[in-house]
Structure 1
Amino acid sequence: MSQLTLNLAQGSIKFNFPFEDAQALKVEIDNLMQRLKIVASKINNGEQKKAEESLDYQYRGEVLVEIFCNPNIYPTPFAAKVLLTIRNEKIRFSTETELTRIVDDLRQYLEQYR
């Protein structure tokens, strides 16, 4: 199993993350990006926006990984931030980070399997 490295504003965190789960996370994030684009287009067109579903992702392995993002509060996908929590029975790490950082790190992780 390979390790996924998530680069944060100040530092990084690395943990074991199966390829299949990385693919599933990518699908979830791609869906979130579509919802963010819908919100942005409605804002730009002056339309009343319908509340879009939040991303509430969980992975349970050696560590628990939680990623949460509410697409309704960001004007563009590039402004979006996520709440990232990584924990196990001994430690809990939570931070807010840019969605684009997660997207880039995940893409880089998946490319190593091509």
Structure 2
Amino acid sequence: MSLKTALRVIAWLLLAGLIFVTLSPIDLRPVSPAPVQLERAAALALIGFVFALAYPRHIWLVALVVLGSTVLLELLQLLSPSRHGRLIDVAVKLTGGGIGIAAGWLLWRWRPQR
């Protein structure tokens, strides 16, 4: 399996995991000692970073998928009685996702050329 293929598989698995964690009942949400907003930003930064490395020539589509799914998932939380979608959560997640996308794309752009 090539690195590109592996990154693409990892990117989609990370997004699938985010979808599960975001839309599942709150008691199934993983818990860590980190502040919850830091968890959110870091999760989206990682997803954005991996997607940007997996699809570097399609960075606008990456932004649409990562940032668009962030907004959509936050809206879908409003349909769940045990979850809530809040503007601050969207802002934190979009910031993390944007930073991850930018970091991944810049790493790809500045990679050593063969």
TM-score (norm 1): 0.31
From the two aligned structures, give the one with the greater strand fraction: 1
From the two aligned structures, give the one with the greater helix fraction: 2
Between the two structures, name the one with larger relative contact order (CA 8 Å, sep ≥ 6). 2
